Amino acid sequence: MNAKAEDEKTWQQTKSAITRTTILDAAVDCFFEVGYTKTTTEQIARRAGVSRGAMLHHFPNRFEMISATVAHLNQTRLEMFKNAEARVQAGAQYSRVEAGIDAYWEQLNTPAFIVFHELKVAARTDRELEKVLLPALAEFDKAWYKAVKQAFPDLALSEAFERTNYLTMYLLDGMAAARLVDGPKVPVAMMMGWLKRELRRSYQDVLGKVSRT
């Protein structure tokens, strides 16, 4: 294959990848705006600005579309977390606990988390979604734990790390989910303040003693 043909092949692959990502972003947007159960492939195609033929080329059936969207959403959330924590912790000798919690909380108040939460609820009665979501969640949990250890290398050395990771995740995820229904009734400031104090107490064995590098 000559150089021109190679360039054409590379361009076609790049174009295909861009189109695929555009469709998946459109799917997440539709899930957020009208809900998972009300979203159709036609709506996603319109949102993405692609033809039905292009949709079928990338995702021949609904199952493949849902599976790819779940994987895309999980990757999006992981990248958001990694990028936010990298900014917050840049240049720090010891992990900035409070700022790290604030960054995580901000992420939980985005469309990505809202869609993620809705999919988890919908999977209870949607067997097709459940079949996709359960293994994807298992992979996400592994990747998430690894990302947290990389974001807080000093805290990861603490004997309390695994416990506090679960505490933080379940408390903040739960509050974010509750806010979708209860709104301002959720005592965010009180619970965030308590969590930050509890984390500092739990990490006394490493915080301020073990460098991040």
Q: Encode 132-144 in three state secondary structure.
A: HHHHHHHHHHHHH
Cβ contacts of residue 120 below 8 Å, gap of 6+?
Answer: 133, 137
Residue 11 has pLDDT above 80, yes or no: no
pLDDT of 13 > 90? The answer is no
Domains, the chain, with CATH or none? 1-60 (1.10.10.60), 63-213 (1.10.357)
Please, how many CA atoms are within 13 Å of residue 58, restricted to the half-sphere of its CB? 25
Q: Give me 134's structure tokens.
A: 């359960």
Predicted structure pTM score: 0.87
Helix (H, G, I), strand (E, B) or coil at 210: coil
Q: Give the tens place of pLDDT for each residue, 32-80.
A: 999 999 999 999 999 999 998 989 999 998 889 999 999 999 999 999 9
Contact (Cβ atoms closer than 8 angstroms) between residue 205 and residue 160: yes
pLDDT at position 5 is 54
